[in-house]
Amino acid sequence: MSTIANSIEARDVASLVHMQTNLRLHQKEGPLVIARGEGCRVFDDSGKEYIDTVAGLWCASLGFGSERLARVAYEQMKKLGYYHLYRHRSTEPAIELAEWLLKIAPVPMARVVFQCSGSEANDTAIKLAWYYWNAVGQPQRTKIIARQMGYHGNTCAAVSLSGKPDMHAGFGLPFANFKHTEFPHYYRRHEPGETEEQFSGRMAEALERLIEAEGPDTIAAFFAEPVMGAGGGIVPPQGYFAKIQAALRKYDILFVADEVICGFARTGEMWGCQTFGIRPDMMTSAKQLSAAMQPISAVLVNARIHDAMLAQSDRYGNFAHGFTYAGHPVAAAVALEVQKIYAELDIVARAKRLGAALQAALEPLRRHPLVGDMRGVGFIHGLELMRDGATRIPFDPALKVGARVDAAAARHGLILRVIGDRIVFAPPLVMEEEEIGEVGARLGRALDEVAGELKAGAAA
């Protein structure tokens, strides 16, 4: 880090708290300051260029700068820079965006509730699950089931839903009525000879066991991401969601699909629900909804939930929930323009094509000595670093292989998303085929470098 007083790095360290960052280490090492973006590339303040392979935080689907979206925001700010949706007030961009979401929803949905982030959307969906069961006379249904390694955000309830112990440590969370079932990481966790279908059956049985142990009539809802993002880019194995949904139906448990990452073509269909045959009661959406150019998120609720919300208004006189900036007209106008751009790009076909190109670019690395497994769907792929891929022996965590590959990739101009020893790719949907080839080449160089370091370390 530059130690020059008043350097941008020194000012950062003296003023900012960074999320998901070792704060002590940050004081020593300082930030990587990203100064500008162009397509799927970003440039740091020294001018060094990086290809971002995870669209920032799985969100910048249209890349890191847009004249066209800037104009839409500017025009909307001039016309109506703010209004809210409280107490019967409305705005045209919010109405139009809600209509669009209902039109493209993967299953019939009745209404849209806007918020500003994925966490808020999940938080709202949790509240709505409780609201629903109160409305229909089963207030004892308060427990929520999600999955180990699931990631649903960071508000108190959304992080309770998340199944990552590192996000709970020190905060006194998760809340007691949030339970976590097994997650479907087939490659790591299947028994020798167990097929994907058999493994999925085992996952559904584990869910049923948890439901039975907790008491089926105490469970309000089950939340899942179609493809687990921050859990490691885990694509569900064959038959997984069919079996899980059968178990939920048996006990009349609501299904909430967290489409915050998967929505808008990431899995090769418009929604992850379509890719995996999921029929949710509620669905949360954010990130690529506005290509991350504005903070906006949505919960889509089906008629069953909406009817109960109406009944609650009859009872209490008010839907007593809201956020000042929810459905912000500037964010909604930008999100609407993003949807037009998706249509022009034929985004679903494009994601399929780019996904195939990514697979082709990564394929030669499957045989790399550091790589154990690779699988993906659409334009989201996960690669697992393993000491021995065939026998599934992981690296000693002390070697920090994932972190080393991350650092080596950055030196080679590649921003990766490394989760333990997994690398997850979810690049901007505007990435071009030659840039995808460049991702494979740069990653290959980074892996070679770390393999060399490990070999030298073993020999020393």
Q: Which residues bind ligand PLP (CB under 6 A)?
A: 57-58, 117-119, 122, 151-153, 225, 229-230, 258, 260-261, 286
Residue whose CB is less far from ligand PLP, 119 or 312: 119
For 388, phi then psi, to 5°, come to -135, 105
Instruction: Supply the minimum distance, in Å, between the C-beta of residue 154 and ligand PLP.
Output: 6
Please state whether the peptide bond connecting residue 174 to the residue before it is cis, i.e. omega within 30 degrees of 0.
yes
Residue whose CB is less far from ligand PLP, 223 or 395: 223
Instruction: Supply the minimum distance, in Å, between the C-beta of residue 440 and ligand PLP.
Output: 25
Instruction: Supply the minimum distance, in Å, between the C-beta of residue 127 and ligand PLP.
Output: 15
Instruction: Supply the minimum distance, in Å, between the C-beta of residue 174 and ligand PLP.
Output: 15
Residue whose CB is less far from ligand PLP, 167 or 336: 167
Q: 450 exposed, middle or buried (CB, 10 Å; 0-12, 13-18, 19+)?
A: buried
Residue whose CB is less far from ligand PLP, 51 or 256: 256
Residue whose CB is less far from ligand PLP, 151 or 186: 151
Spatial distance between the Cα atoms of 360 and 91, rounded to a whole number of angstroms: 45
* In contact, 268 and 226? CB cutoff 8 Å: no
* In contact, 424 and 417? CB cutoff 8 Å: yes
Residue among 235, 223, 221 at smallest CA distance from 272? 235
For 299, phi then psi, to 5°, come to -115, 125
Residue whose CB is less far from ligand PLP, 76 or 122: 122
Instruction: Supply the minimum distance, in Å, between the C-beta of residue 78 and ligand PLP.
Output: 27
Spatial distance between the Cα atoms of 376 and 21, rounded to a whole number of angstroms: 27
Instruction: Supply the minimum distance, in Å, between the C-beta of residue 121 and ligand PLP.
Output: 7
Instruction: Supply the minimum distance, in Å, between the C-beta of residue 258 and ligand PLP.
Output: 5
Q: 400 exposed, middle or buried (CB, 10 Å; 0-12, 13-18, 19+)?
A: middle
* DSSP bridge partners of 111: 301
Quote the strand ranges of 78-211, DSSP E: 111-115, 143-147, 178-181
Residue whose CB is less far from ligand PLP, 9 or 123: 123
Instruction: Supply the minimum distance, in Å, between the C-beta of residue 146 and ligand PLP.
Output: 11
Q: What is the DSSP letter of 117?
A: S
Residue whose CB is less far from ligand PLP, 161 or 361: 161
* In contact, 236 and 227? CB cutoff 8 Å: yes
First to last CA, the chain: 30
Instruction: Supply the minimum distance, in Å, between the C-beta of residue 48 and ligand PLP.
Output: 26
Residue whose CB is less far from ligand PLP, 69 or 261: 261
Instruction: Supply the minimum distance, in Å, between the C-beta of residue 2 and ligand PLP.
Output: 29
Where do runs of H (alpha helix) occur along 252-328?
A: 272-276, 303-316
- Is the torsion defined by CA of 387, 392, 395, 396 positive or negative? negative
Please identify which residue in the block is written with the tokens 């019967």.
88
Please name the residues in contact with 240: beta carbons below 8 A apart, sequence gap of 6 or more.
184, 196, 200, 203, 204, 276
- Is the torsion defined by CA of 318, 319, 325, 326 positive or negative? negative
Spatial distance between the Cα atoms of 155 and 370, rounded to a whole number of angstroms: 36
**Residue with nearest beta carbon to ligand PLP:** 118
Residue whose CB is less far from ligand PLP, 229 or 268: 229
